[in-house]
Structure formats: C-alpha cells, structure tokens
Amino acid sequence: MFFKRRSRANSYIENDPPQRSQSYDDYEKQRPDSSHTQQQPQPQQPQQQVSSPTEEMYPRPQQPQEAQYSRGMPNGINAAALGQPTPPLSSGMKAEPMPDLLAQAFNQAVRPYTEKIEQLESQLADMQAWVEQLEQQRAEVHSWIDKRGLRPDVPPSIAKIMDSTTSDGALTLNAQLDRKITIVNFDLHRLQDDLNDSISSAHFASAMLKFLPDIQRLSLLPSGPRHAFDLVLKLGGNLNSHGGLDSGDEEDLAARRDFYARLDIAMVDVVNKRFGEGEEWNVQREIKRIEKTAQYLSTYGIKPYFPQTLEAMRREFDHRGGGYTNGVTNGQSSPPRYH
C-alpha cells in the first residue's frame, strides 16, 4: 500500500480516499451554474436532484408564500402594486347593461326637433315677459289719462281697451264727461258775455252734440245706461239755460227742435238698455220730470220734447204694471243738475 502526502493536517492518506474526501469534488460538479454560465445556452440534460451533505446540514429557508401578502399591506401597499391579482368585485354590484342602439338612434333622430322646441319655448318665455311689461306700461298710461280727465278724448281703439280693462270704467267715464260738459257750457256762456252778443242756438247745439258719441259709448258699459240717461238730459238742459227762447226767431227755434230730436233718438236707445239691465228705478218720476220741461218749452212754440223717449218709458212702465214706481236706484233720489 502506498501513501501520498496531501496536507499537514493529514500527512498520509490512502489512494482510495474515503467518501467524505470526494464530497467537495462532487459538490463542484453538482452545484448550480452561476449567472455568468446561465447566459450561455446549454443542451438540456436530465437533471437529477442530489442532496449534498452541506444542504443536509444547512437547509435553505423556505421562500415566503404569496398568500402571506394577500392580506392588507402596510404603508399603503396593495396587492396590485406587488403584482398580485386584483380581488374580484363584490357580488352586490351588477354589471352595466349593453347600450340600446335603437334608443341611441332614436335620440339622435329627434335631437334637432327637441332643440327647436327648446328654442321656441325660450322665445315664448321672452315674449310673455315682454307682453307683461307692455301691459304694465299700458296700465300706467291709462292711469295718466284718467288722472287728467282725458278719457273722453282718446281714440276709439284706446277707449275700447280702457273701458274693458277697468272695473269702474262707467263711473270714471261718467265723471269725466260730466265735468267736460260743464266746462264747455261755462266757456260758451263766458264767451257770450265777452262778446256782448248772443251765440246762436245752432252753434251752441253743435257744441253739445259732440258729446253724444261718448254718451253712447258710456251706455255700452255695465251700469252705464243709468249715467248716460242723466247726461242726455243735461245736454238738453244746457241748451234750455242758454236763453233766447223769447226771441221768436224761427231759425233759432228750428235749430232747437232739431237738437232735441237728435237727443230723443239717442235717449230711446239709452232707455231700452237701462230697462234691459233689470235696474229698479223710479220711471214715473223721470216721466214727470221730462213732461214738465216739455210743457215749459211748448209755451215758446218748441214741441215735441223727447216724444219717443216718453212713449218707450210709458209702454215699459205699463207692461210691468208700475213695478218701478217705488224702486229708486242709488243716486237717483234727486234729479240731475243741468248746469
């Protein structure tokens, strides 16, 4: 047997070393290749797992399981940041339905029409606001007209609107007409005094007849015929107070007869409307009042005086059996003032 010196610790060993002395060489052959050697492709060979004594003596720690990080990570680190799969959504949340293509096509088709409708609605709102503004301005203008007593002088188109939009249109128009008739009558008498001459009855009657259209307009309003009746009588009384009855001038007397005839025609219409309203008024007293004035004028050769009006009032009074004898309306307890 030959011995060979290897090291100082083991000076002599046999040719056949023990199994333990060869473990380093075997480990060199079986150890895994380094990262440098792994870059070069090697032919695949069947690998046989060989457990070395070093591995048995020093086992490697096991790799951490991925399940350990599935729970909540500290410091705001979640599973998605570590490459872990996102947990599925809860079963309570439902998936969004598929879009309805037919509904989308319908909405696109009607969109121009809906936009046009919205535009028209906006224009309508603007027009309504503009109309409200105009109505407010109209009310202010009407108030300004009434404040200055100009309602009888407005054009017919404006007069119609004013009479229909105010609840007390009849009272307002009657007061303004009565005041205007009084002013005109006073101005005519003052002019006559300044001229030291008498104004002809034809001119005076012409000035009074200009109020007939406004009186007829007053008779068309609710409770207007009652006021129109008094105003027509006031026109006749103004001419009676003008004087000149004793002059004996046939031309002057003819002008008076023509004036009273026109008043009579207008009064018949007013009386019929007043009866049509069902108003209770002292018809018999008004008949006596007109008859008294007619008797006075007849002494100067002026007759008849309101003949058609008296006939219509008597006929209606007899037809209703004198039902208006005791009925007295508000404001009718005393005869109207003529001047």
What does 87-116 look like in DSSP terms, one character per residue?
A: PPPPTTSPPPPPP-HHHHHHHHHHHHHHHH
Radius of gyration of the chain (CA): 61
Report pLDDT for 107: 87
pLDDT of 182 strictly over 70: yes
pLDDT of 116 strictly over 70: yes
Report pLDDT for 327: 41
Q: CB-based burial of residue 242 (10 Å sphere; 0-12 exposed, 13-18 middle, 19+ buried)?
A: buried
Report pLDDT for 331: 40
Report the alpha-carbon distance of residue 146 to residue 162 in Å, rounded: 10
**Sign of dihedral through CA atoms 77, 79, 80, 84?**
positive
For residues 174 and 182, the answer to whether their CB atoms sit within 8 Å is: no
The 10 Å Cβ neighbour count of residue 261 is: 14
Residue range 66-82, pLDDT digits in tens: 444 444 444 544 544 45
**Angle (CA) 213 251 228, round 5°:** 20
Nearest to 151, CA basis, from 176, 185, 131: 176
Report pLDDT for 229: 95
Query: Angle 201-209/169-195 helices, nearest 10 degrees?
Result: 160
Spatial CB neighbours of 21, under 8 Å, sequence gap ≥ 6: 13
- Per domain, the residue ranges of the chain are 168-319
- Total-model pTM: 0.58
Report pLDDT for 162: 86
